[in-house]
Amino acid sequence: MSKVIDLQLDLPPDEEEIVSQMKSFALGRGERGIANYRYIFGSEKARALGFTMEELERMSRELSSEEFEGMLREGAKRVVVPLSQFVKELDEAGVEWGTFFAESNERTAEIVAQFPHKFVGQAMVNPHEGMKAVRELEMAVKELGLGCFYASTFRYGIRPNDKKLYPLYAKAVELGIPVIVYITMNYSSTLPMDLARPLYLDEVAMDFPEMTIVAGCGGWPWVPEMIGVARRHQNVYISTEAHRPKYLATPGSGWEMLMQFGNTLLQDRIIFASGWGSYFLYSKGVIKKVIQEVRSLPLKEEVKEKWLYKNAARLFQRD
């Protein structure tokens, strides 16, 4: 079995995470910022618990809040798995290692310490906190042992070229770690659609030519623009995070230029990142399923191996 590196290896959610998310989906039908995520991702996740979204909505109206939460909790218990079991499934799927983040840098470091050969931790800090964030990033790398910086433009509501991020980018260059930047549209009606447009990453790549940049989520729906940024800057990589691989080759999906250039001129700078937690709740075999979708894409066989393993191994200098 060929080896795989997953640059956004979501961990299976615990009971509280599942209950919280499904409550927000069921109760937030018309709530700004939540509704679109519910419509796009809710049905698949409800099915994993044995319901439809319509059934969850009906029960949220008919049951008391305690009864409704109890019902969700029972469903969640059926899909929760211990981390040790998840790691065994990664081994079975051929995943050598992957990067991830947890609810805090400290928790991320704890998980890495448990499985040092399986996980690389992503540091996350709040760019609105200025030099405090810079010090936290340095500590996360030097003291906690995390291996890259995730610049979540979505979480903090700023564009990738916002100057609040620049001290963090400079520190990442100093520390010699890759920077993963959220680059795609968002579905929240409380944030600008173009918050993380690839065009804004062009300025970052110009200002930090020594920084290794991974454009997470592939820049959709501005894929041609994303390809243009990567063509302009040799330090820019593109990941497939949070998008079902089987749709990348679907005509009219908007991914045509990624497939073309990812199979030719940019084949050394496309990196597999499942981000499976965006569109699935955990179920046995989920990682294997997503990897198989990549292997089924109409790419040259040697290119598939680059996407799935070789490019990330070279980028992180970790075989």
**CATH no. for residue 256?**
3.20.20.140
- Per-residue pLDDT at 58: 92
Count of the separate structural domains present in the chain:
2
Tokens (6 digits) for 144: 């906690």
Strand pairing class (119-123; 95-100): parallel
Structural domain boundaries, residue 73:
15-79
Q: Cβ distance 157 to 127 under 8 Å?
A: no
60 and 163 share one domain: no
Among 34, 60, 56, smallest CA distance to 46 is for 56
220 and 307 share one domain: yes
Q: Can you tell me the distance from the alpha carbon of 94 to that of 291, in angstroms, rounded to the nearest whole number?
A: 9
- Per-residue pLDDT at 105: 98
262 and 277 share one domain: yes
239 and 187 share one domain: yes
35 and 117 share one domain: no
> Sheet holding 4-6: strands in order across?
4-6, 95-100, 119-123, 148-151, 179-182, 213-216, 236-239, 270-271
Is the pTM higher than 0.85? Answer: yes
Strand pairing class (213-216; 179-182): parallel
Q: Can you tell me the distance from the alpha carbon of 291 to that of 89, in angstroms, rounded to the nearest whole number?
A: 12
DSSP letter (8 states) at residue 13: P
Q: Cβ distance 95 to 6 under 8 Å?
A: yes
Q: Cβ distance 291 to 98 under 8 Å?
A: no
Among 180, 126, 135, 194, smallest CA distance to 155 is for 126
- Per-residue pLDDT at 44: 85
48 and 102 share one domain: no
Per-residue pLDDT of the chain (319 residues; tens, 9 = 90+): 589 999 999 999 999 999 998 888 888 665 666 667 777 888 888 888 888 989 998 999 999 999 999 999 998 998 899 999 999 999 999 999 999 999 999 999 999 999 999 999 999 999 999 999 999 999 999 999 999 999 999 999 999 999 999 999 999 999 999 999 999 999 888 899 999 999 999 999 999 999 999 999 999 999 999 999 999 999 999 999 999 999 999 999 999 999 999 999 999 999 999 999 888 877 788 899 999 999 999 999 999 999 999 999 999 987 6
256 and 217 share one domain: yes
32 and 125 share one domain: no
186 and 252 share one domain: yes
User: Within its chain, how far is the Cα of 287 from the centroid?
Assistant: 14
